[in-house]
Chain A
């Protein structure tokens, strides 16, 4: 069994992002970048499946600027076997990412694709579902638990009402929640080893995917700021303010 994991390079979740003054986007120069957090869970889960003996290869794919290769390296240092880097200059839309991933799936023929449930930069929550539809495969989104069997995978999904349990026929696309597992850190020896692991270089043009944007970003602005309020000294004062000043209780 082969597992493909799609990882995206995004601004680190600890960074307080800054909107550019000209409204064209957010500042990315000299900003710390990392692997999209739930994609780490996707890599971790793939490695656990491999370690349990149910899979023999974990392949990492990332689409983006040259530096996305570093994100692939991070996954290789965690223990993945090899990488596929698809170079694309602009920030391409989820539908185009999904089409590019479909081309990779067509040649790699994995049994499972693990992805993050949501990229924390665009907050789209689309790519996995789109890839699944393009392939005509089953999808298990927002997974917080999986169990892999012969020809099927049982998953627990986080939904607004609680949890949902499904059984999916393989091949399948799984999008991972942060609660799926605790991603490992790469050890120093593994970081050294990862430098020798192969990464295949492709261009998005090689995959013949139309990346022309369908969505124009007219402007990006800071959200309205909240005024800082006051500190109260006691519960009595708080309750009185809520009742008489804010009139919410």
Chain B
């Protein structure tokens, strides 16, 4: 048994989701190989070789791979797949985009968004927005699996010295032209890995008011999230969305402000260690899963919270 992990990277560094996926792979086999595809990504290949758990790194480097295009990546993974029993990628929008193509080209089923590995062929995955957990057994010869990063600890990138083998592939795919990306830049921690997340919902009423959330986030060194309603209303951009069709977060502390607690939102945050809800409606379903609930008007509560945090001088950064 051997596992091929497809690394999510930005050409300059590995994304955190790859660290978690390597841990998931180590629950299946000791023979873990990682493929790094990108443009000018030699540093990433090197970084990958330092994982103690990784035995080999495939380094595929070409300007054509500057942006991950599913139609380009999938055939590469298919060609590499021959000697592997499992192919793993993070269940991020990166992995979700190309992995089903790999499955279809190889004629296997895909197991999406795995949160637990029971054995080499048996996996646990949430269905119905996390309202049920299914334990599924794959009968396919190769297992094509995407991993929910927040369900696995990050692997340690130290102590290893895996072989790096540089290879290249012919590819004349011309179906897709990359036009551009709009990435929100922020100095705050990444939503998917932050220790503290504070999210705002429709209750915030406007993007101006949303700055109250940002203010608290800065004081707590927290990432900022949002409900779909807040994104739909344009208070913040889509990459803030937490939930069934957004991101999944599992911070030590999740603070939901002006969020009612629809099941689709809970799907993205209810595994958080401590949940705080601030809502003026005492019947709001979010209170059913909150460790600490405060029934209050957020326009009064947030400034108070901000002032109270100023009083604490021992905030762990």
Chain A positions near chain B (C-beta within 8 angstroms): 11, 13, 16-17, 19, 26, 38, 93-95, 98, 117-118, 120-134, 137-139, 141-142, 144, 154, 157-169, 172, 177-179, 213-223, 226, 228-236, 238-239, 241-243, 246, 248-249
Given known contacts A126-B110, A139-B70, A220-B134, A134 and B93 CB-to-CB distance under 8 angstroms: no
If over half of B's interface residues share one DSSP class (helix, strand or loop), that class is named, otherwise mixed; here it is mixed
Instruction: Kindly list chain A residues whose C-beta atoms are within 8 Å of the C-beta of B184.
Output: 161-162
Given known contacts A130-B104, A138-B176, A164-B181, A214 and B140 CB-to-CB distance under 8 angstroms: yes
Per-position contact with A for B33-77: 1 when CB-CB < 8 Å, else 0? Answer: 000000000000000000000000000000000010111001000
Q: Which of A138, A221, A243 contacts B132 (CB 8 A)?
A: A221
For the A-B complex, the count of residue pairs with Cβ-Cβ distances under 8 Å equals 256
* Additional A-B contact list (4), CB under 8 Å, known A127-B100, A158-B238, A235-B301: A139-B71, A161-B239, A169-B175, A223-B132
Q: Which of A19, A168, A238, A249 contacts B220 (CB 8 A)?
A: A249
CA distance A235 to B253 in the complex (A): 16
B28 within 8 A of A: no
Instruction: Kindly list chain A residues whose C-beta atoms are within 8 Å of the C-beta of B80.
Output: none
Binds A, one of B18-26, B160-168, B207-215, B244-252: B244-252
Question: Cβ of B176 and Cβ of A141 under 8 Å apart?
Answer: no
Per-position contact with A for B115-149: 1 when CB-CB < 8 Å, else 0? Answer: 00000001001111111111111111000000000
Q: How near does chain B come to A22, taking the closest CB pair, in angstroms?
A: 13
Question: Cβ of A163 and Cβ of B308 under 8 Å apart?
Answer: no
Q: How near does chain B come to A125, taking the closest CB pair, in angstroms?
A: 5
Give me 28 A-to-B residue pairs in the complex whose CB atoms sit less than 8 angstroms apart, sorted by A's number: A94-B109, A95-B107, A123-B127, A123-B129, A124-B112, A126-B112, A127-B100, A129-B96, A139-B70, A139-B101, A142-B97, A154-B179, A159-B181, A162-B181, A163-B181, A163-B182, A164-B180, A179-B238, A215-B137, A215-B138, A215-B139, A216-B138, A217-B135, A220-B127, A226-B289, A229-B290, A233-B294, A242-B274
Instruction: Kindly list chain B residues whose C-beta atoms are within 8 Å of the C-beta of A121.
Output: 127-128
B292 within 8 A of A: yes
Given known contacts A133-B100, A166-B178, A242-B276, A232 and B294 CB-to-CB distance under 8 angstroms: yes
